[in-house]
Every structure is written in C-alpha cells, then in structure tokens.
Amino acid sequence: MRYPYLLRGLAITQANQVWSADITYIPMTRGFCYLVAILDWASRMVLAWRLSNTLDSAFCVNALEEAITRYGCPEIFNTDQGSQFTAEAFTESLRSRNIAISMDGKGRWMDNVFIERLWKSIKYEDIYLKAYSSMAEVKKGLGAYFTFYNERRWHQSFDRKTPATIYFSTLPQKQAAA
C-alpha cells in the first residue's frame, strides 16, 4: 500500500515530531550487507540501526521497535516506498501506535534528504576509509561511528551542536519529563 507524503510545507521544530528510515548497502571486502537507520528529522540523531545480509523487513521492524522502546513514538514516520517499509509487519507497528505514515514520492530522494545525507557521511567518514571485511567488523565499526555521530560530531546547521544535544533540548516537555 502507498501512503501520501505528509511533510511538504511542514515546519519540523522538535524531536519526535518526524522520524524517517531508509536502507543503504555497505560494501565489504567480499560482498556487502544492508544497513537500516531510524533518524529523527529535527535533530538528525540516529535513534536505532540494524544490519542484515538480506532485504526482508524483519531487520527494519527490529530497528523501529528499538527506537520506539528507547525514545517513544514520533507523530509522523517517513520512508520511501520500498517493500520493507510497505510490509504489513512494518506498517502495522506504526498504525497500532497511531503514528502517521508518510512516504516519499516515487523516485523523490529529496523527500528524505536528511537520511540520504547521513548515508554519505557514513560512507565517506567510516565505511570507505576502513574497508571492513565482515558484518561483525561493520557492526562494531558502525556502533562506534554512530556514538561519534550522535554525541561528538557537531553540525554546522545546528550552530556546531551535536544531534544528541539538539534532540534532548527539543523534546516536547511531556516526553522530556517522562
């Protein structure tokens, strides 16, 4: 099932207002694996991620469930129209929590530009430099990279603040108190 794009013209000003997800491939010495990440749009903080050697929806659902368990629910969740994100298990996880589902237009990578920018950062700041040889190495390396990205890598668009700083400072009061 296809869902409408809900973000056009929307002012995104606080954490947990809009989350997005996407999948990219990670090259290794022999072969590749897939990475899914859940990103908060207001802060660009990576809330959860998973690796897989297949493109089924299970690793995407697992990342989604982890993000919700750790950070609560967003108002809107945006993805592309990939089969992992249109799968019943993924959409039901959102619908059962009354999270509005938004999907990019076909071929509209700009609709999810922040996660596309994340992929570029990951690949040029970590993956291509380290040339991992196994999924275990990728998992360990990305664990360190995402800690760096969220907690120590400042963003120029946030006046040199980190995603974690922006995320926790823009949480709605009721969520920050919880």
- Please report the pLDDT score of residue 107 as a whole number: 54
Residue 98 has pLDDT above 90, yes or no: yes
In a domain, residue 35? The reply is: yes
> Is residue 28 domain-resident?
yes
Answer whether residue 45 is part of any domain.
Answer: yes
Whether the pLDDT of residue 117 is over 80: the answer is yes
Q: With bands split at pLDDT 50, 70 and 90, how would you rate the model's confidence at 101?
A: very high
What average pLDDT score do residues 133-162 get?
91
For residue 131, what are the domain limits?
Answer: 18-172
| CATH number of the domain within which 51 lies | 3.30.420.10
Give me 9's structure tokens: 């013209």
Domain membership flag for residue 2: no
Q: What is the spatial distance between Cα 37 and Cα 67, in angstroms, rounded to a whole number?
A: 10
Mean pLDDT within 137-148 = 97
- pLDDT score, position 175: 54
Count up the domains in the chain and report the number: 1
Cα 57 to chain centroid distance, Å, stands at 15
- % of the chain beyond a pLDDT of 70: 92
Q: How far apart are CA 56 and CA 87, in angstroms?
A: 9
The H-assigned helical ranges of 11-71 are: 58-71
Overall average pLDDT of the 140-168 stretch? 90
177 confidence band (pLDDT: 50, 70, 90): very low
DSSP state of 52: E
Considering the domain boundaries, does residue 177 fall inside one?
no
85 domain-assigned: yes
Residue with the two structure tokens 């959409």: 91
Q: Specify if 8 maps to a domain.
A: no
The pLDDT of residue 8: 87
Instruction: Indicate whether 94 pLDDT > 50.
Output: yes
State the chain's mean pLDDT as an integer. 90
Alpha-carbon span 13 to 149, nearest angstrom = 20
pTM: 0.90
**Is residue 3 in some structural domain?**
no
Q: Is the pLDDT of residue 37 over 60?
A: yes
| Residue of higher predicted confidence among 105 and 83 | 83
